[in-house]
Amino acid sequence: MSAPPASVSQSPQDVEVQKVIDRARRIASERYTSGPISDTQAIDGAGGAITLGGVCYRVSQPTGMDVAAVVAHVKRSIKTPMQELKEEEEFNLLPPEEQQVLMRDKARHYYQHKDTWLAAQLMEALISPEGVAFCFWVFCRKEQPTLALEEVRKHVSNANCAQLFVQLNVESAMSELGNLTGRSG
């Protein structure tokens, strides 16, 4: 389906939908040269491929549910500054009164800057080896249903997680559509 003639009035929602279809079609046509693709193929998102551990995996364009699963997973790994403070050995050696003062100051600062802090922590957790491995697994398991998270974890390290995150973002068309970071396309 191509855009209707200029003389036909379109709602703003129809215009946005057509932009998404056109963008998806452009991404798919850049990746595949087997001929024109249908609107259904464009919207479904013709994903790319990534080689990890010597195996080539097909990457699907993630749905909102996929992105929510990734965000929920990385959120579970984030500790608040108060939790981190409690785990510090030196903190636990302080008298209880000093611990309370430090904890109160840490909590005050955390709640004043919570949104900024949380966004930074989410991104840091997302680009960690565990975050990238989970993201890879979620984005690839539709095409490879037998893919195990443990298998992916074996091949994701500090040395390759940033590059793999960028590849996932590109191959899943997230960089073009802006879904992962909440940007508009």
19 in a domain, yes or no? yes
Q: What domain range includes position 101?
A: 81-121
5 in a domain, yes or no? yes
92 in a domain, yes or no? yes
Per-residue pLDDT tens over the stretch 20-58: 666 666 655 555 444 444 444 444 445 688 889 888 888
93 in a domain, yes or no? yes
The pair of three-digit structure tokens given for residue 56, joined into one six-digit string: 């080539």
Beta bridge partners of residue 56, listed in sequence order:
51
Domains of the chain: total: 2
128 in a domain, yes or no? no
32 in a domain, yes or no? yes
Q: Which of 63, 92, 121 is the last residue of a domain?
A: 121
- Could you tell me the pLDDT band of residue 9, with boundaries at 50, 70 and 90? low
3 in a domain, yes or no? yes
User: Each residue of 164-185: b (16+ CB within 10 Å) or e?
Assistant: bbebbbebbbbbbbebbeeeee
Per-residue pLDDT tens over the stretch 129-149: 999 999 999 999 988 889 999
